[in-house]
Amino acid sequence: MHPVMRHLARDHVAMQAVLDAVEREVAVAEAGGPLDSELVVLALRYLRDFPEWHHHPLEEALFARAIGRDPGCEEAFAEVWAEHDRFPAASQRLLDWFEDGPGAPSMTAAEALGELGRYAAGQRRHIRRENDEVFLVLLSVLTDEDWEVGGSASVDGTAGAFKPLFDRIQAAGASATR
Ligand SMILES: [Fe+2]
Ligand SMILES: [Fe+2]
């Protein structure tokens, strides 16, 4: 497998760990437990920024290359590509609410939790569709030269600005298994 494909797959694993954490928070809060809103805010900032800055541009460059090789592939990318365009606003809308904290007038707490749960499920479906369908199309159509559009694809989304989020997720996982 080309290193750029491995890199995209690693990004997906990290995003799924963040979605796991968000869904755990939703489940706890819906059962009446305390919501870790700081964790939710860090997760939403990551889901708003990391894909938009690094992951989606790389995927879209590869989609464009594949369409150049075989215009028939366009249909395979249409839905996930449209979702790339919709996700930032969906992330921002939730972020605005959770940053303001419960009591923000745009939604009730129950509505915000419901929307957060649907948002996480939508992100998860997107990743699953890419893993199960879209990436297989890329692997069958792209040549070694096409993959080079991804360069070394070296940005690690779990480091730098997003490290505090992944440290918290790891700590929560460790305490859950204790
Ligand atoms: Fe994507
Ligand atoms: Fe992706």
CB atoms within 10 A of CB 158: 19
Q: What is the percent of the chain where pLDDT is above 90?
A: 76
Q: How close is the Cα of 136 to the center of ligand 1, in Å?
A: 14
Q: Does pLDDT of 22 surpass 90?
A: yes
Residue 84 confidence (pLDDT): 97
- Predicted local confidence at residue 26, as pLDDT: 96
Distance separating alpha carbons of residues 129 and 14, to the nearest angstrom: 16
Query: Contact at 8 Å (CB) between 12 and 125?
Result: no
Q: How far is the CA of 115 from the centre of ligand 1 (A)?
A: 20
Å from CA of 10 to ligand 2 middle: 10
Centre of ligand 2 to C-alpha 130, Å, is 6
CA of 81 to the centre of ligand 1 (A): 7
Residue 152 pLDDT: 64
Q: How far is the CA of 25 from the centre of ligand 1 (A)?
A: 24
Ligand 1 centre from 103 Cα, in Å?
A: 33
Write down the mean pLDDT value for the chain.
91
Q: What is the mean pLDDT of residues 123-142?
A: 97
CA–CA distance from 149 to each of 66, 98, 143, 146, 153 (Å)? 11, 37, 11, 6, 9
Q: What is the pLDDT of residues 40-59, one digit of tens each?
A: 999 999 999 999 998 999 99
Tokens of 68: 């150049």
CA 102 to centroid of ligand 1, rounded, Å: 30
What domains are there in the chain, each with its CATH number?
3-176 (1.20.120.520)
Ligand 1 centroid, distance to 104 Cα (angstroms): 30
Give the ligand whose atoms come closest to the C-alpha of residue 10. Answer: 2
CA of 60 to the centre of ligand 2 (A): 10
Question: Which run of H or E residues covers position 83?
Answer: helix 74-100
Return the ligand number nearest the Cα of 87: 1
What is the Cα–Cα distance from 90 to 99, expressed in whole angstroms? 14
- Rounded to an integer, the average pLDDT of 143-159 is 81
Is 89 a residue whose pLDDT tops 90? yes
- pLDDT band at residue 143, thresholds of 50, 70 and 90? very high
pLDDT score of 62 more than 80: yes
CA of 175 to the centre of ligand 2 (A): 29
Q: Specify the pTM.
A: 0.92
66-87: per-residue pLDDT in tens? 999 999 999 999 999 999 999 9
| Angle, vertex CA 124, rays to CA 103 and CA 75, nearest 5 | 125
